[in-house]
Amino acid sequence: MIAVDQLGKRYGRIAALDGLSFEIKKGGVAALVGGNGAGKSTVLRILSTLTAPTDGDAVVCGYDVVQDALDVRRRIGYLAENTPLYGDQRVVDFLRFRAALKGVAKGERRERVQEVIRQCSLQGVERRRIATLSRGFQKRVGLADALVHLPEVLLLDEPMVGLDAVQVPAVRELIGSLAGRHTVLFTTHSREEAEAVCRQVLHLQRGRLVTAAPPVPRTPASGGIYLEIRGDHEAICQGINALAGVRRVETAGEGDGRWHRLVIRTDVGRDVRPDLFALAANHQWVIREIRLEEGDPCADS
Amino acid sequence: MRRFLILWRRELQLCFLTPVGYFQTAVFLFLSGSLLAWKLMAGAFDLSSIPAILFSSVFFWLVVLATCSMLTMRLVAEERTAGTWDLLMTAPIHEGQIVAAKFMGALTVFVVMSLPILAVPFFLRACGVTAGEIDGGPLAGAALILFWVGAFFIAVGTLLSCLTRSQAIAGIGALTVNGVLFFWGAFPIRSAVFAEGGPALVMDPAHYVQAFASGFIDSRPLIVLALGGLLVLFFAVQAIQWQRFRTFSETLNLGMALVLALGLMSLGVILAHRHYRLADWTRSHRYSLSEKTLRILKNMTERVEVTFVCRPHYTVYGDLRRLLMQYGDHGPTLHLEWVDPDRDPGRVEELLAQDAAVRSEAVVFKSPTQVRTVVLDDLLQSVSEEGGAFHPRAPTGLAAEETFTAALLAVTEPVKPVVYFLMGHGEVALDDYHPERGYSTLARLLRSDHLELKPLLLGELAQIPPDAAALVIGGPTHRLARNALTAIAEYLNRSGRLLLLTDSGVVTGLESLLEDWGVRMNHDRVISKPLLAGVGDALAGARGVGVTRELELTRLGDHPITGPLQGMLITLYQPRTLTPLGGVGTDAAGAVDKPRITVLASAGEESWAETDFQQTPPNFDPETDRRGPAPVAVAIERGPAGWVAMGLQPTRLVVIGDSHFAANGRVGGGNQDLARSSLHWLLQRDFILGPSPRLGGSLPRVLEGRQRTLVLVALVVGFPGCALLWGVLVGWFRRRV
Ligand SMILES: Nc1ncnc2c1ncn2[C@@H]1O[C@H](COP(=O)(O)OP(=O)(O)O)[C@@H](O)[C@H]1O
Ligand SMILES: [Mg+2]
């Protein structure tokens, strides 16, 4: 269903993708895993015809993404990384508009829209304007949009980011359930998430596929906890440093706005996560993401 | 197509379901409304000229320019920055559909926005402004060119919005590109492609925009703008497709496609300039050549070279050029040439060598035998002296057509017919400037018809000069001398031509002569009731006179003289009635010696022939007076009909029961045409019959006190205020629901 052969994409002197080849069978679910800047989004943008590769071929549903862009577009549902949506529209109106645009027959439109609203648990917010929804809901609206015309191929860029703890499993389940009827390729930076959903996991590093490393033990043995937290940066660093078992706190990449991205290096075998939660609760810091480090999450950034 | 409609609707939603579109509309209406209000306050206008008044303002077009840029800058750039562009580009839609929908969306909004400003004439009429009538033609022309130019602006704006992520750059870019194209006027190809001799592009927008708004339609700017717009949109589609690749080879492809499209467009532009149409959409056919000019052009057999030597900055360059182009369209033997003396001094030298006085701006008419030059400064001078007949609204220029046609006649007619005006019996004089009793204006008009006019004092000489092409007896006040009468009778018998204008209450001695020719001149005068009874009664109450001495001729006969004048306003001043003897109309063709009499005009039923000259006020007395209709002008012809027998010439007479109608003060409008056509028919100059060039329309008016306030408030506050209010309501409603 998706066949990628020696795919390359250069942005000037930067090679975002380099000799990438893989194949996804019809009805299969595959995940692209890699750190920031690994090239995941670039693969999906090429497959969704948004950008053309500089080398190699990509074929979706038997159509070349460069030559037969329109045929490819007819058969794909694409969820962009940052989930752009028309904020001025209501959820149902947006989905109806998109269904119409994607050629869902008039008679089926209402039914399809209701179906994806149910699938993506959007009941209750259908009449809200998209701009007023939270990120998580917006992501789900984007997902609903990708699904609304029952595309043969689904290309989902970071579908789980921004969802709350309850939603993540639900979306995982949803993606899992799409297998068979749809061919799904989604990206994530979390290997466990990928492994939780599908068997075909493609590891991407600096634009190349790498053979999957053996699963890492699920303890903080490797010595790091990745944390996204909101609050006063100074206070946070001080507070965490003071926790027993913490060796040091590193800033991991740029924070967005008031969110700070930290990597906490701990003593081997020491799990400081319960202490962290307690600390955050005490100071009313908000934790957005917390996970055990595997490899280096910000290798390329 | 379906997807196009969906996207188009979405664009409209964005504008009209959010307050933004209404605010933009309000700003547009405020700026253009204020401008229009200011212009309407400043001077006289009539309802039909409102579009032209508005469109003549550079400021208005700046507002249009800014509005179009504002409408287009967000189209693609905004979606790019928001990322929603990816939503469109991954849906199964062709880039062309997206561009078309974006373009049409903005255009629709622009059309909706500008409709109120075009409706202003209707609004003014509803407010009771009575200056003239609304003319659908100029209004339609204004709408057409506004939307057409707007569409071009929007196409350019759409392209620029496709090229950049920044709305600001897209907006400023559109403003600049459109501004340069629009205000610099002519595209550079004007000089590049058609440097010498070829059809120059008429692409000066300041010129054609004004023309359209005055009801003068030209296919060329429409086609050039349409082709240009399509090219720009095509380029926009190509640019979007290119953005997927951004590689060198794709750029090369894009460039080649563009060059090809540009070539095709240039070809289209050239074809559009070779085969173009002009149309006059005004109700009064203000910009069409007069029937008379058309007839002259159609009957011309000689080749005439018309050279327009004029700098493009000359005040009335465009108007005169347009006028001459119409001559060219209708005159198959006419050859037009445009010479800019600054660019082509050599050609000017050549013309000077051919006796053409082209030291300043001029039009040279040159037939194989004769040359005549109309110096434009003189033309404008004479026009302004005569009270500004060269109306800024009349691109043809009344005087210009008269003068050009006269020049054409002069170079094509081998001999100038000589017309004698009998003098010595109180006749109206040719050089008399008196408004009531002077023919100086008529004389000027007739001279411009290529006639030589001479006064004729018979005195001892008892013969009409042999070179007389016609004799005019205009309003004698005493009895004609016996020898004059014999001379006239004799003249008529040898195929003479006589125009007799004879007033009521005068005994001229020509009565018995005319009876020989089958017409009796009655001793009476026509008194008529005003057509508007109500107004008449009011006047009667005020002045004690229930009647009018002005007779509006509404019944014109079917004759070469009066046929083309149907519907024109011709007024006689209490004329005498004429009675054709022995039946009216044309007898069998065999009766060559019997005069054929045609009634040219009759007084209507509402009038009567008053026989009592002393009665004041005149009153209808059934015993003595006769009710209308009664003939007041007749044409008489004896002998072979005009063109049939070559050797034998017919005798022709035109008798009109009034001489005042052709006097200086009255000879405007249809009156001059009656006089001129009568003479031309007598001279068998059929090619020159018909109404002369004239300026249609009504008198411009100035707004009165209450109307001023109303117009000011409505245009500056009312229209934009409505849009604003609507926008606020929409915003409020959106928040609610
Ligand atoms: N439009 C672009 N111009 C230049 N470089 C880009 C562009 N898009 C992506 N890149 C580069 O390509 C690489 C891969 O990016 P991306 O596919 O977004 O990574 P990921 O989604 O895996 O985080 C990065 O180094 C990024 O900087
Ligand atoms: Mg990415």
From the CA of A37, how many Å to the nearest CA of chain B? 19
User: Residues 6 or more apart from B139 whose CB is under 8 A from it?
Assistant: B51, B118, B121
- A177 shares its domain with A239: no
Is A87 inside a domain boundary? Answer: yes
- pLDDT exceeds 90 at position B35: yes
Is A100 inside a domain boundary? Answer: yes
**Position B557 confidence tier, pLDDT thresholds 50, 70, 90:** confident
CATH at residue A11: 3.40.50.300
Burial class (CB in 10 A: 0-12, 13-18, 19+), B289: buried
Largest separation between any pair of C-alpha atoms in chain A: 63
User: Which residues, in sequence order, are bridge partners of residue B280?
Assistant: B216
A98 touches chain B (CB under 8 A): yes
A2-11 and B371-375 beta bridge pairing = unpaired
Q: Give kind and range of the element (H or E) at residue A224.
A: strand A224-230
Q: Which CATH superfamily is domain B418-684 in?
A: Class I glutamine amidotransferase (GATase) domain (3.40.50.880)
CB contacts < 8 A (A, B):
61
- pLDDT exceeds 80 at position B251: yes
Structure confidence at residue A295 (pLDDT):
46
Nearest CA in chain B to A127: B737
Instruction: Extract the tokens encoding B536.
Output: 């008449």
**Range B291-403 classified under CATH 3.40.30.10:** yes
- A19 shares its domain with A62: yes
Among the bound ligands, the one closest to the CA of A54: 1
B14 touches chain A (CB under 8 A): yes
Look up residue A47 and give its amino acid. L
Contact A101 B7 (CB under 8 A): yes
**Dist CA B552 CA B546 (whole Å):** 16
Q: How many helical (H) and strand (E) elements, i.e. helices and strands, does chain A have? A: 9, 14
Q: Whole-number mean pLDDT of chain A?
A: 86
Its sign, for the CA torsion A234, A236, A237, A243, is positive
Instruction: Check: CB of residue B215 under 8 Å from CB of residue B281.
Output: yes
**Dist CA A60 CA B89 (whole Å):** 16
Q: Residue B538 in 3-state DSSP? A: helix
Contact B83 A82 (CB under 8 A): yes
Question: Into how many domains does chain A fold?
Answer: 2
Q: Give kind and range of the element (H or E) at residue B403.
A: helix B398-412
ipTM score for this prediction: 0.73
Averaged pLDDT for residues A275-293: 84
Is A299 inside a domain boundary? Answer: no
Averaged pLDDT for residues B531-539: 44
Q: Tell which of A211, A230, A263 closes a domain.
A: A211
Residue with tokens 């005004």: B282
- pLDDT exceeds 50 at position A8: yes
Report the 3 state secondary structure along B612-661. CCCCCCCCCCCCCCEECCEEEEEEEEECCCCCCCCCCCCEEEEEECCCHH
From the CA of A143, how many Å to the nearest CA of chain B? 12
From the CA of A74, how many Å to the nearest CA of chain B? 5
From the CA of A288, how many Å to the nearest CA of chain B? 24
**Dist CA A32 CA A5 (whole Å):** 16
Choose, out of A86, A106, A145, the residue to mutate when testing the contact with B (most B CBs < 10 Å): A86
Contact A70 B94 (CB under 8 A): yes
B3 touches chain A (CB under 8 A): yes
A13 Cα: distance to centroid of ligand 1 (angstroms): 12
Is A149 inside a domain boundary? Answer: yes
Residue to probe by mutation, ligand 1, list A41, A51, A161, A254, most atoms within 8 Å of CB: A41
Nearest Cβ partner for A50 among B6, B10, B89:
B89
**Position B190 confidence tier, pLDDT thresholds 50, 70, 90:** very low
Q: Residue A36 in 3-state DSSP? A: coil
Averaged pLDDT for residues B331-344: 87
Is A185 inside a domain boundary? Answer: yes
Residue to probe by mutation, ligand 1, list A7, A9, A10, A11, most atoms within 8 Å of CB: A11
Is A300 inside a domain boundary? Answer: no
**Dist CA B30 CA B50 (whole Å):** 17
Structure confidence at residue A143 (pLDDT):
93
Give pLDDT tens digits for B45-89. Answer: 778 888 888 888 888 999 999 999 999 999 999 999 999 999 999
- A119 shares its domain with A235: no
Contact B82 A51 (CB under 8 A): no
Averaged pLDDT for residues B409-438: 85
| Percentages of chain A per state (helix, strand, coil), in multiples of 5 | 35, 30, 40
- pLDDT exceeds 60 at position B194: no
Instruction: Check: CB of residue B317 under 8 Å from CB of residue B323.
Output: no
**Position B193 confidence tier, pLDDT thresholds 50, 70, 90:** very low
Q: Tell which of A211, A239, A274 closes a domain.
A: A211
Q: Whole-number mean pLDDT of chain B?
A: 81
Report the 3 state secondary structure along A67-113. CCHHHHHHHEEEECCCCCCCCCCEHHHHHHHHHHHCCCCHHHHHHHH
A82 Cα: distance to centroid of ligand 2 (angstroms): 9
- A187 shares its domain with A157: yes
Give pLDDT tens digits for B281-298. Answer: 888 776 778 777 888 888
- A140 shares its domain with A260: no
Averaged pLDDT for residues B252-279: 85
**Dist CA A250 CA B369 (whole Å):** 102
Q: Give kind and range of the element (H or E) at residue B87.
A: helix B85-89
**Dist CA B69 CA B150 (whole Å):** 10
- pLDDT exceeds 80 at position A272: yes
- pLDDT exceeds 60 at position A62: yes
**Dist CA A230 CA B478 (whole Å):** 117
User: Which residues, in sequence order, are bridge partners of residue A140?
Assistant: none
Q: Which of A45-59, B263-277, B401-415, B693-707 ranks highest by mean pLDDT?
A: A45-59
Protein residue closest via CA to atom 5 of ligand 1: A11
Contact B91 A145 (CB under 8 A): no
- A238 shares its domain with A259: yes
Domain ranges of chain B: 2-282+705-736, 291-403, 418-684
A139 Cα: distance to centroid of ligand 1 (angstroms): 21
Give pLDDT tens digits for A116-170. Answer: 999 998 999 999 999 999 888 999 999 999 999 999 999 999 998 888 878 888 8
Averaged pLDDT for residues B242-269: 88
**Dist CA B338 CA B308 (whole Å):** 5
- pLDDT exceeds 90 at position B237: yes
Give pLDDT tens digits for B111-138. Answer: 999 999 999 999 888 887 777 778 888 8
Q: Residue B123 in 3-state DSSP? A: helix
Q: Residue B199 in 3-state DSSP? A: coil
Q: Tell which of A181, A211, A241 closes a domain.
A: A211
B23 Cα: distance to centroid of ligand 2 (angstroms): 39
Structure confidence at residue A115 (pLDDT):
94
Is the pLDDT higher at A82 or at B207?
A82
A286-292 and B371-375 beta bridge pairing = unpaired
Q: Which residues line ligand 1 (CB under 6 A)?
A: A 11, 14, 16, 34, 36-42
Range of the domain at A248: 220-293
Structure confidence at residue B694 (pLDDT):
56
- A227 shares its domain with A188: no
- pLDDT exceeds 50 at position A262: yes
Averaged pLDDT for residues B192-219: 62
**Dist CA A106 CA A109 (whole Å):** 5
Point out the ligand 1 atom lying closest to the alpha carbon of residue A45.
17
**Position B168 confidence tier, pLDDT thresholds 50, 70, 90:** very high
Is the pLDDT higher at A218 or at B274?
B274
Structure confidence at residue B204 (pLDDT):
62
Which residues in chain A have their CB less than 8 angstroms from residue B8's CB? Answer: none
Structure confidence at residue A51 (pLDDT):
93
**Position B701 confidence tier, pLDDT thresholds 50, 70, 90:** low
Cα angle A111-A114-A117, degrees, rounded to a multiple of 5: 150
**Position B641 confidence tier, pLDDT thresholds 50, 70, 90:** low
From the CA of A227, how many Å to the nearest CA of chain B? 28
CATH at residue A247: 3.30.70.1340
Is the pLDDT higher at A232 or at B96?
B96
Is A298 inside a domain boundary? Answer: no
Which residues in chain B have their CB less than 8 angstroms from residue A74's CB? Answer: 92
User: Which residues, in sequence order, are bridge partners of residue A155?
Assistant: A78, A185
Its sign, for the CA torsion B445, B447, B449, B454, is positive
CB atoms within 10 A of CB B694: 21
- pLDDT exceeds 50 at position A300: no
C-alpha distances in Å from residue B500, one per residue of B473, B574, B602, B682 = 5, 16, 16, 11
Instruction: Check: CB of residue B715 under 8 Å from CB of residue B124.
Output: no
pTM of the model: 0.67
Is A263 inside a domain boundary? Answer: yes
B591 Cα: distance to centroid of ligand 2 (angstroms): 106
Structure confidence at residue A298 (pLDDT):
37
